[in-house]
């Protein structure tokens, strides 16, 4: 089974970003992080990919918007995150 592509949009100093990355790190999942602290094209890209997204982190698994830190932890608690990550 191919490894899913995990992407996370973050800002410097964001505690929710740290928690979301810690959960992924704890599962041994590799991800691509996009720092949008200073805005720019990556912020515009995030808003295009996740319409209405105004907060970070924004997490995508195989181009599917998962949501933020709380959403990621809720999926994990429900047992639905590991299947998405092919674990």
pLDDT tens-digit series, residues 11-30:
999 999 999 999 999 999 99
pLDDT tens for each residue of 63-82: 999 999 999 999 999 999 99
Q: If we measure between CA atoms, which residue out of 29, 74, 78, 38 comes closest to residue 56?
A: 38
What gap in Å lies between CA 40 and CA 86, rounded to an integer?
Answer: 32
The structure's pTM equals 0.94
Q: Which domains does the chain have, with CATH numbers?
A: 6-84 (3.40.30.10)
């Amino acid at each position: 089974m191919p490894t899913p592509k995990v992407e996370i949009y973050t800002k410097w100093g964001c505690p929710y970003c740290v928690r979301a990355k810690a959960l992924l790190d704890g599962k041994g999942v590799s991800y691509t992080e996009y720092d949008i602290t200073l805005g720019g094209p990556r912020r515009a890209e995030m808003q295009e990919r996740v319409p209405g997204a105004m907060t970070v982190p924004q997490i995508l698994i195989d181009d599917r918007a998962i949501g933020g830190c709380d959403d990621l932890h809720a999926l994990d608690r429900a047992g639905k995150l590991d299947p998405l990550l092919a674990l």
